[in-house]
Amino acid sequence: MYCDDIPAPLAVNYNGPMADPRFPATRLRRLRYHPAVRRLLRNTQLDPAKLILPLFARPGKGVRQPINSMPGHAQLSVDFIAEEARQAAKFGLGGIILFGIPAEKDPLGRDSYSDSGIVQQAVKAAKDAAPELLVITDVCFCEYTDHGHCGVIADCGGRKDVDNDATLELLAKQALSHARAGADLVAPSGMMDGMVGAIRAALDGGGFSHVPIMSYAAKYASSFYGPFREAAASAPQFGDRRSYQMDGANIREAMREIALDIEEGADMIMVKPAMPYLDVIAAARERFDVPIAAYQVSGEYAMIEAAARNNWSDRDRVIMESLTSIRRAGASVILTYYAKDAARLLG
Ligand code: PBG
């Protein structure tokens, strides 16, 4: 007999001299039948300390504005951000990453670099509530601009597009303002050329040489960001992001992006989205020695939730399997809307 319910399998020697030549000598299933052996030999571990929870900060007090396409998540006023920070610390999460949705959007996204801006308020509240918790900020403009693009718009040869170098100056201001508010780590996500170098120089010049940069280095122009754009009200008002985010068909270009960001001073790099780009994570892991993060984005979350809410899949198991696959591909850290769920499941 050789099946899942062998009563005393260690006593059965399939490879000995008495082995039946009709059956294979190598038995991989021997290491699978016993849950304790499976647990002992598991290659990839999930740990709440490696998970980062994204949160959306909005103005007001006592406001929890649900996000339709991300059931279970909401835009939160700063007092609720503080509460989430306390919970994240209690769950032993690796940290939180904050996105700001300002009361007023304008062409330059001024709120993002105002010391009294929404994300600055959220950082302060989170650090006050949970001083030991790692608080990261997303450094970008699309949540703050009225046109929804990730930088300053200019006329680029008769075509409206994001002006790379004008945006760099503002990105530097924004990152510095986040650091002044108390951000422990900044994460530029706008895919501007030179953004890491510009931010590094600004942080160093402003007395924040100890603040690391996690660069969204290989960020693809992905349809999986759809729900986020509802969450942050950041859908581009014209065109799309394909002149700055990467084409989903490319992997060598991702390696160039990552190499350049490391050269410019990125301490960690990110691949985003995660599940549709596991090959990119794996290739980056092979090639670079910096810590690699992956972002399980809003659309990945929405797909899993939609299937689960229809009873088409086992939510908890799909969550754990998806996170495990991202870790197995080589990500050290995962940004995921499931951070608290996973911590609960692991606890
Ligand atoms: C840009 C940013 C985006 C996400 C994180 N940072 C949106 C975009 O590039 O359009 C997407 C995250 C998600 O989909 O969960 N600031």
Nearest alpha carbon, ligand 1 atom 10:
225
pLDDT score of 17: 60
Residues of the chain with pLDDT under 50: 6-11
| Digit-coded pLDDT (tens) for 236-286 | 999 999 999 999 999 999 999 999 999 999 999 999 999 999 999 999 999
- Pairwise CA distance, residues 141 & 149, whole Å: 7
Distance 142 CA to ligand 1 centre (A): 9
pLDDT score of 7: 47
Nearest alpha carbon, ligand 1 atom 8:
225
Which residues does a 6 A CB cutoff place in the pocket of ligand 1? Answer: 138, 140, 142, 189, 225, 228-229, 297-298
160 carries an active-site annotation:
no
105 carries an active-site annotation:
no
Domain ranges of the chain: 47-346
Distance 21 CA to ligand 1 centre (A): 57
Query: Nearest 5°: CA angle at 51, between 50 and 54?
Result: 150
pLDDT score of 14: 53
User: Cβ atoms within 10 A of the Cβ of 277, count?
Assistant: 26
Distance 221 CA to ligand 1 centre (A): 10
CATH topology of domain 47-346: TIM Barrel (3.20.20)
